[in-house]
């Protein structure tokens, strides 16, 4: 799963700034809303996004990186992670015309001022274009167009426990949950899987991220069909690289859960999002749980890791006939639910 999203204040502030300075622009980011207000303010605008929901709203295809084309201005919507910002700045430098501008827009709570510091350090100057609604639009001018960077240079590799104790090589990319490390929740779920590998002919890693869980399942039962699904194009690319790094086969799909066939799997595993704002995280976890249940046939199992939260418990009990806790500590629970 990817991290992040922006509010309406960011969008409104950006649109106002674009209207005051019309020139061909690429807007790159997530949760951007509908394209109509942008095009009303600036006819020569295009979009790029990693996020499937955003891509559908804009009527474009979700991609890890924009297509190679020169732009007078590139706007980067502030991502959650600094590593993702640095990747997008490096790519923007290869796409902006000589003398063109790179803007970064975001809310103060999302760390836009830290991005201004990055711009000033990287380019020698940073100018505030617009500040409103606790949001800021900052600009810098990189000078000459640079060579397009290879995505390989932004990989982070680490290991994770595999079946039988043989480690898995994991390939992560900026913007993917837990970039560059094995998060503790996933580690607990892997430990439960390793202690008692479920039987499955078709398994789904829902919200696959870098593909850690899907790679474990693909190695544990090589004859099974394993699908890794995520709504982030970057997560899907990381999952493909993780499978390849371990010599494993599996399907990787950029898709929402409800686009997968009902009852198509006998095992679903997931580490649902839990750190995106309290109410939003509850909603997302509930959606993942309900979506997992619909993908399972009768008797199918769902294993997930989550924090101690009554909303997770209620969502599981509403969708499954049997719910057990396989692991718990002060921070996490690993749930095993049967359809």
Q: pLDDT digit string (tens) for 248-294? A: 999 999 999 999 999 999 999 999 876 543 345 557 788 899 999 99
Superfamily of the domain at 8-151: Vaccinia Virus protein VP39 (3.40.50.150)
- Choose among 99, 83, 85: nearest CA to 28: 85
pLDDT of residue 285: 80
pLDDT of residue 286: 85
CB 315 within 8 A of CB 285: yes
Q: pLDDT digit string (tens) for 67-86? A: 999 999 999 999 989 999 99
pLDDT of 1 strictly over 70: no
- What residues have CB less than 8 Å from 153, skipping those under 6 apart? none
From CA 297, how far away is CA 204, in angstroms rounded?
A: 12
Reported confidence tier of residue 29, pLDDT bands at 50, 70, 90: very high
User: 3-state SS of the chain?
Assistant: CECCCCCHHHHHHHHHHHHHCCCCEEEECCCCCCCHHHHHHCCCEEEECCEHHHHHHHCCCCCCCCCCCCEEEEEEECCCCHHHHHHHHHHHHHHEEEEEEEEEEEEHHHCHHHHHHHHHHHHCCCEEEEEECCEEEEEECCCCCCCCCCHHHHCEEEEECCHHHCCEEEEECCCECCCCCCCHHHHHHHHHHHHCCCCCCEEEEECCCCCHHHHHHHHHCCCCEEEEEECEHHHHHHHHHHHHHCCCCCEEEECCHHHCCCCCEEEEEECCCCCCCHHHHHHHHHHHHHHHHHHEEEEEEEEEEECCCHHHHHHHHHHCCEEEEEEECCCCEEEEEEC
From CA 39, how far away is CA 272, in angstroms rounded?
A: 35
pLDDT of residue 2: 41
pLDDT of residue 281: 54
pLDDT of 87 strictly over 90: yes
Q: pLDDT digit string (tens) for 314-323? A: 999 999 999 9
Q: pLDDT digit string (tens) for 132-187? A: 999 999 999 998 889 999 999 999 999 999 999 899 999 999 999 989 999 999 99
pLDDT of 17 strictly over 80: yes
Let me know if the fold of 8-151 is the same as that of 155-338: yes
Domain boundaries of the chain, sorted by first residue = 8-151, 155-338
pLDDT of residue 5: 44
pLDDT of residue 8: 82
Superfamily of the domain at 155-338: Vaccinia Virus protein VP39 (3.40.50.150)
Q: pLDDT digit string (tens) for 204-259? A: 999 999 999 999 999 999 999 999 999 999 999 999 999 999 999 999 999 999 99
pLDDT of 107 strictly over 70: yes
pLDDT of residue 308: 77
CB 85 within 8 A of CB 119: no
pLDDT of 90 strictly over 50: yes
């Amino acid at each position: 799963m990817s991290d992040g999203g922006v509010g309406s204040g960011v969008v409104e502030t950006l649109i106002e700034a674009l209207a005051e300075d019309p020139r061909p622009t690429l807007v790159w980011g997530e949760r951007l809303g509908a394209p109509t207000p942008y095009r009303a303010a600036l006819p020569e605008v295009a979009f790029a996004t990693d996020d499937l929901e955003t891509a559908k709203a804009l009527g474009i295809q979700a991609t890890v990186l924009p297509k190679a084309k020169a732009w007078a201005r590139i706007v980067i919507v502030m991502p959650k992670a600094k590593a993702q910002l640095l990747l997008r700045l490096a790519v923007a430098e290869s796409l902006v015309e000589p003398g063109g501008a790179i803007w970064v827009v975001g809310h103060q709570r999302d760390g836009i001022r830290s991005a201004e510091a990055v711009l000033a350090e990287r380019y020698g100057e940073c100018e505030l274009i617009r500040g409103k609604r606790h949001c800021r639009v900052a600009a810098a001018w990189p000078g000459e167009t640079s060579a397009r960077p290879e995505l390989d240079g932004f990989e982070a590799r680490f290991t994770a426990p595999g079946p039988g104790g043989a480690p898995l090589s994991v390939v992560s990319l900026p913007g993917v949950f837990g970039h560059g490390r094995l998060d503790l929740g996933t580690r607990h779920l892997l430990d439960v899987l390793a202690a008692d590998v479920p039987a499955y002919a078709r398994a789904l890693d829902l919200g696959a991220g870098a593909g850690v869980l899907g790679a474990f399942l693909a190695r544990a039962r090589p004859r099974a069909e394993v699908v890794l699904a995520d709504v982030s194009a970057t997560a899907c690319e990381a999952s493909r690289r993780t499978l390849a790094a371990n010599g494993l086969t599996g399907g990787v799909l950029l898709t929402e859960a409800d686009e997968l066939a009902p009852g198509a799997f006998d095992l679903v595993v997931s580490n649902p999002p839990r750190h995106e704002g309290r109410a939003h995280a509850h909603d997302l976890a509930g959606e993942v749980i309900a979506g997992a249940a619909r993908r399972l046939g009768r008797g199918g199992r769902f294993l997930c890791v989550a924090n101690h939260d009554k909303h997770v418990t209620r969502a599981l009990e509403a969708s499954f006939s049997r719910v057990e806790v396989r692991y718990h500590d002060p921070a996490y629970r690993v749930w095993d639910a049967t359809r």
